[in-house]
Chain A
């Protein structure tokens, strides 16, 4: 276990070096947030019908989406992709560690670093100037943090799954693109999930993608009351375990037929 902790720490420290990139990302996310805020603001001014989620809850949801966008499994591990392409992946197999957990913790650290760098400043600015409110209660805040941790693990399980699919290079890229799109839309980062029609929500609430953003964000604003958090977090956890098992199974199959080229 200590090997994975050391790996996590080392990759985290490395990820935290990329501050300039984070700053550039910060500006872009802020601008996007403003566009989206104005669009939703205009929608809310256009109709008197009560909505399934209040204006303030929507504002919180939108800003949290911008601040935590990197929780989505969007980027593949570039280095691992390179390793598979060049055949250097053979070195990975020689390590006395479990390959799945090695890749899992590696990308978890990298993702946590970039999330930490971007989320804080954007949250602060949105809270100071653009209408983001603190959670309504300490219970909501606690539930949010807990499920944020769950979302980060879930996102990492999905990323690792995408990384593993690269062992089948060509079709692997197709799979990761598809996962990418599904996660982007069905997590609620395009339109908050409560706005979709009720029949669609039954499906969306079952899928793993809502656990990436929708669950923590609704817990944050109290749209899901804190006492109901255990079912939501339990579902995140169940999906994470399922995806890890799936990833390990696919990896084992992939390694069986892996041919490393050249020396």
Chain B
């Protein structure tokens, strides 16, 4: 076999892979367009839901503000600094929550036996799952998080250099990946439990609640859980230290802090593997 032949076959493989990815992206785009069009049929309802979501998630920040008004600081952290944590984690979560709604409501799919239909289609299961619904109302949390993030950054007078911006975007995207991974895990558990189990909420919603504050305020066992097992520290605490230019009492380097959000996609990839394992062991509940 000549070198030319090999190169030719290699290129063909790449082209095939590329067209598969492109095809998947196109399909996902279709799904999203459909979902958005469907939700826009009820425009008034959408606006009400989004505004309600904005208020109900934003009102929690008032509580944090009230606590800072009483106590002045939180182990040396100020309110605008905590606003960065709060903003980044809420924006991340809103992205994941909106895009992964299909995984979040997976238990109904399993119980009704409708999951079998997905298995029959010649496309990636995870892609079809993610494409089931794009929840637009989550835009409410997205904007309130962004607002708090903007307020915190403006109050602190953070100089937005290219590096800082990149780290901030990286943290948000990395965080979205971590939460997306948690939704995948939650769905995977349904293969065995059939019902969605509430305890998973402790890592999703509980994770948001936890990561709204710097992780150093918590007990060690708790901090370790959200660093090594559910890697939220990598997408909030470490990158935000780099953005703020603060010294880390845990003694990490700036380079590590800036690259820490990469743990998000990594975590997501691992959860997808677990998901594939679950799909292979799936027994239909029947019709």
**Which of A's residues lie within 8 Å of B, judged by CB?**
21, 24-25, 27-28, 31-32, 34-36, 38-39, 42-47, 49, 51-52, 170, 174, 177-178, 180-181, 184-185, 190-191, 195-197, 200
- When the two chains form their complex, are residues B202 and A42 in contact, meaning their CB atoms are under 8 A apart? no
> A170 to B159, alpha carbons, bound, how many Å?
47
Q: Say yes or no: is B38 at the interface (Cβ < 8 Å to chain A).
A: no
Q: Are B210 and A46 in contact (CB under 8 A)?
A: no
| Cα distance A24–B73 in the bound complex, in angstroms | 35
Q: Roughly how many angstroms separate A43 CA and B64 CA in the complex, as a whole number?
A: 11
In the complex, which residues of chain A have a beta carbon less than 8 angstroms from the beta carbon of B281? none
Inter-chain contacts of B60 with A (CB < 8 A): 185, 190
A24-B197 CB under 8 A given contacts A174-B48, A181-B52, A185-B59: yes
Q: From residue A196, how far is it (CB to closest CB) to chain B in Å?
A: 5
A188: nearest residue on chain B (CB-CB)?
B63
- Could you tell me if A185 and B63 are in contact, using CB atoms closer than 8 angstroms? yes
Consensus secondary structure, chain B interface: helix
Closest to B222 in A: A38
A35 contact set on B, CB distance < 8 A: 206, 209-210, 222
* Interface size, chain B (Cβ < 8 Å): 32
Of B116-124, B211-219, B256-264, B269-277, the segment with at least 4 beta carbons within 8 Å of chain A is B211-219
Interface contact A47-B210, CB-CB below 8 Å: no
Which residue of chain A has its CB nearest to the CB of B201?
Answer: A28
B interface residue numbers (CB < 8 A to A) = 45, 48, 52, 55-56, 59-60, 62-63, 66-67, 69-76, 197-199, 201-202, 206, 209-210, 213, 217-219, 222
Which residues on the B side are within 8 Å of A32 (C-beta)? 202, 206, 209
Whether A51 contacts B222 by the Cβ 8 Å rule is no
**List of 10 A-B pairs having minimum Cβ-Cβ separation, nearest first:** A191-B63, A42-B217, A31-B202, A190-B63, A47-B71, A24-B198, A181-B56, A43-B71, A27-B199, A196-B66
With a 10 A CB-CB cut-off, give which of A46, A177, A196 has the most chain B CB atoms. Answer: A46
Write out the residue numbers on chain B whose beta carbons fall within 8 Å of the beta carbon of A25: 198
Task: Name which residue of chain B comes closest to A190, CB basis.
Answer: B63
Besides the contacts A31-B202, A51-B70, what 5 more A-B pairs have beta carbons closer than 8 Å? Answer: A24-B198, A28-B199, A46-B75, A185-B59, A190-B63
Contact A178 B213 (CB under 8 A): no
Give bound CA distance, A174 to B47, whole Å.
11
Which residues of A have CB within 8 Å of B201?
28
CB–CB B52/A178 < 8 A? yes
Q: Chain A nearest CB: distance from B215 CB in Å?
A: 11
Pick the residue among A34, A36, A46, A177 that contacts B74 (CB under 8 A). A46
CA distance A46 to B60 in the complex (A): 21
Q: 15 A-B pairs, CB-CB below 8 angstroms?
A: A25-B198, A31-B206, A34-B222, A35-B222, A36-B209, A38-B222, A44-B71, A47-B73, A177-B56, A184-B56, A185-B60, A190-B60, A191-B63, A191-B66, A195-B67
Q: Are A191 and B67 in contact (CB under 8 A)?
A: yes
With a cutoff of 8 Å between Cβ atoms, the chain B residues found around residue A195 in the complex are: 66-67, 70
Question: Complex Cα distance A210/B222, Å?
Answer: 32
CB pair A42 B74 closer than 8 Å: yes
- Which residues of B are found within 8 Å of A34, using beta-carbon distances? 222
Q: Which residues of A contact B206 (CB under 8 A)?
A: 28, 31-32, 35
Query: Once bound together, how far apart are the Cα atoms of A44 and B217, in whole Å?
Result: 11
Q: How far is B81's CA from A46's CA once the two chains are assembled, in angstroms?
A: 15
Contact B52 A177 (CB under 8 A): yes
Known contacts: A35-B206, A35-B209, A174-B48. The answer to whether A43 contacts B199 by CB under 8 A is: no
A197 x B63 contact (CB < 8 A): no
- Which residues of B lie under 8 Å from residue A197 when comparing CB positions? 66, 69
Q: Are B72 and A49 closer than 8 Å at their CB atoms?
A: yes
Q: Smallest distance from the beta carbon of B71 to chain A beta carbons, Å?
A: 4
Task: Please tell me if the beta carbons of A43 and B59 are within 8 angstroms of each other in the complex.
Answer: no
A-chain residues with CB within 8 Å of residue B74 when the two chains form the complex: 42-43, 46
Alpha-carbon distance between A170 and B44 when the two chains are bound, in angstroms? 10
- Residues on A with C-beta less than 8 A from B197 are 24
Query: Given known contacts A25-B198, A28-B199, is B72 in contact with A47 (CB within 8 Å)?
Result: yes
B67 contacts across to A, CB distance below 8 A: 43, 191, 195
With A and B bound together, what is the CA distance between A196 and B68 in angstroms? 10
Which residues of A have CB within 8 Å of B198?
21, 24-25, 27-28
Contacts of A24 in B (CB 8 A): 197-199
Once bound together, how far apart are the Cα atoms of A195 and B206, in whole Å? 22
Cα separation A44 to B48 with both chains bound (whole Å): 38
Please indicate the chain B residues that have their CB under 8 angstroms from the CB of A47 in the complex.
70-73
| Complex contact A38–B219 (CB within 8 A) | yes
A177 to B45, CA, bound (A): 12
Contact: B71 with A49, CB < 8 Å? Answer: yes
